[in-house]
Structure 1
């Protein structure tokens, strides 16, 4: 009798969720007020931490910017040539790297705090050496490889922000150097993100003097000696006018180009970063002088078959009228 009375009182206190008595008792076994309180508290804490880390990120990035901006202003006052000043480029590179690393650090601690608030034992998971850790390690191989490759690129000073480079067939200027990727902006304005682990060969076009090759295409019956004489006269007239040109331009003579056409080639040594302007300037001067002399040049490349290799023994020299390129 007492058991029946107790069961009836318990059933009266239950909230009716479904028509199934077992499910109703199971759901009522939870302290929903406590669960709601804990959930609200955790949501408020997560929002608070997110806002806090956002403020820390903004303040930290602002401090980094002002420190390096102050150094950049000093470099501008000291440097005579801002475009090629190595100290200023190094300053931009370190700033780009620190900003990138700071973002990763803030993101890591934010995720760590959120998981801790949710009650996930992050420290135990990190210290564990089970299948989960192995999977994370295998998935992070590429990330670790990017960081190691980026470290050696920066420590050896292979590239700096603002330098003209060729990486994996991409020709452009270094926009940023990060822990995972290197950003190169090509001539069309496209920003290319290159993973550091994929960088095998870096061609830095901003270190040392470069050579500009100017090719004047000709026909086989063109007055070669006269054209070379005109080009030499142009070199003499322009001598000393362009400070970017180093030494005297050299006339290589007649060469075969890769498309099978003939050309008279001139080699001009110039300062890094000026090769395109020097090439365009001398090409225009050569063409103008040749046209003024009344010499006609081909409107399109004319393919000329190179001389066949001699079938005589190697000891017998066989002269060829043109150089090959």
Structure 2
């Protein structure tokens, strides 16, 4: 008896159809190769491809949602691990105002989130694309092998680029520096103007723009994170050390209690005492701990106040008189050597 659905019922469905349970079931019920293959290629395979695409989109959405949650929590307030010991030692008022900038933290978190979401998108849809190719009975084994060989060749040919990108990603994750920070990379010292995965742009004190590859940075010093120590050495010549030390201490105490500058001190300034003695006299060292972004302003102001204090006390005049007296004394001629 001839099948109602297939004019040639002696033929069997394709191998792909017989491997599919639904298609095989349709063939067993209808005994029609035409109906089984038609349903397989016009209904089952398109549905499979649609399901693969939907699953890929759902997986991408879930992963992006997870990344957004992590980025949101990071941007709201947690200090990077490397800054936690610093935060514990600094008063909360100084930390909140200077050490951790919410806008910078938000931008850094968003940059990391953008990179991670791009990686997720590429990974998920690459896998989905290979699965779709396999649905069209295309052997993806040689394709994967070719991609592997191409990846190895690209890795050897672009080692510097890969190194720069990986170093840039870890720089972002570890929050080593950001726009506006003053950093020291060795040859280039200046203010960071832009940060990328491959390069960082630095403008030095003379206005020169330096483009430094992240992979070439072996060590880096950040002068804008946490707190900084201002160290000023004041030469006093051969005047009385106790008198000069007392004058300098009074000056730094008044400076620390000045309402305009008091909030910039992490710890009260200290006059440590004689740091060095040379042919020109003694040198007294003064130190203070301040927020990183205010160190240069505070250093200039402290130098001005110490100078004015020495002038007001008359010590500066004594130093000038001692220098003038020393300059007026002729140097002794070396003794003649006996033949």
TM-score, normalised by the number of residues in structure 1: 0.52
CA contact (8 A) 1:93 1:176 kept: no
- How many residue pairs are counted as aligned between the two chains? 203
Between stretches 150-159 and 252-261, larger displacement belongs to 252-261
Between stretches 160-169 and 283-292, larger displacement belongs to 160-169
CA contact (8 A) 1:217 1:264 kept: yes
Residue of structure 2 aligned with 1:271, choices 271, 291, 298: 291
Is 1:154 the counterpart of 2:172? The answer is yes
Pairwise CA distance, 1:234: 0.9
Deviations 1:5-64, CA, capped at 9 Å, x for gaps: xxxxxxxxxxxxxxxxxxxxxxxxxxxxxxxxxxxxxxxxxxxxxxxxxxxxxxxxxxxx
Deviations 1:265-309, CA, capped at 9 Å, x for gaps: 10111112111111111111111111122223469x9xxxxxxxx
Runs ≥4 residues deviating over 6 A: 80-83, 95-102, 132-135, 257-261
**2:264 aligned partner:** 244
Is 1:203 the counterpart of 2:221? The answer is yes
Q: For the structure 1 residues 82 and 239, does the alpha-carbon distance in structure 2 shift closer, same or farther, using more than 3 Å as the test? A: closer
Counterpart CA distance in 2 for 1:140 and 1:260 is: 58
Secondary structure at 1:189 match in 2: coil
**1:232 aligned partner:** 249
Pairwise CA distance, 1:182: 1.4
Pairwise CA distance, 1:136: 4.6
Pairwise CA distance, 1:223: 1.7
Deviations 1:116-165, CA, capped at 9 Å, x for gaps: xxxxxxx98x93788x9876543301111111111111112222222232
Q: For the structure 1 residues 223 and 258, does the alpha-carbon distance in structure 2 shift closer, same or farther, using more than 3 Å as the test? A: closer
Pairwise CA distance, 1:179: 1.6
CA contact (8 A) 1:97 1:177 kept: no
**1:87 aligned partner:** 102
**Gapped runs of 5+ residues in structure 1?**
1-70, 103-122, 302-325
Residue of structure 1 aligned with 2:210, choices 185, 188, 192: 192
CA contact (8 A) 1:164 1:206 kept: yes
Pairwise CA distance, 1:95: 6.2
Q: For the structure 1 residues 128 and 285, does the alpha-carbon distance in structure 2 shift closer, same or farther, using more than 3 Å as the test? A: closer
Counterpart CA distance in 2 for 1:180 and 1:127 is: 27
Secondary structure at 1:249 match in 2: strand
Counterpart CA distance in 1 for 2:156 and 2:227 is: 44
Counterpart CA distance in 2 for 1:257 and 1:96 is: 52
Pairwise CA distance, 1:251: 0.9
Pairwise CA distance, 1:263: 1.5
Secondary structure at 2:268 match in 1: coil
CA contact (8 A) 1:146 1:179 kept: yes
Pairwise CA distance, 1:168: 2.2
Indicate the RMSD between aligned Cα atoms, in angstroms.
4.0
CA contact (8 A) 2:163 2:215 kept: yes
TM-score, normalised by the number of residues in structure 2: 0.50
Deviations 1:163-215, CA, capped at 9 Å, x for gaps: 23222243322222212111222233322211111112222222222110111
Pairwise CA distance, 1:227: 0.7
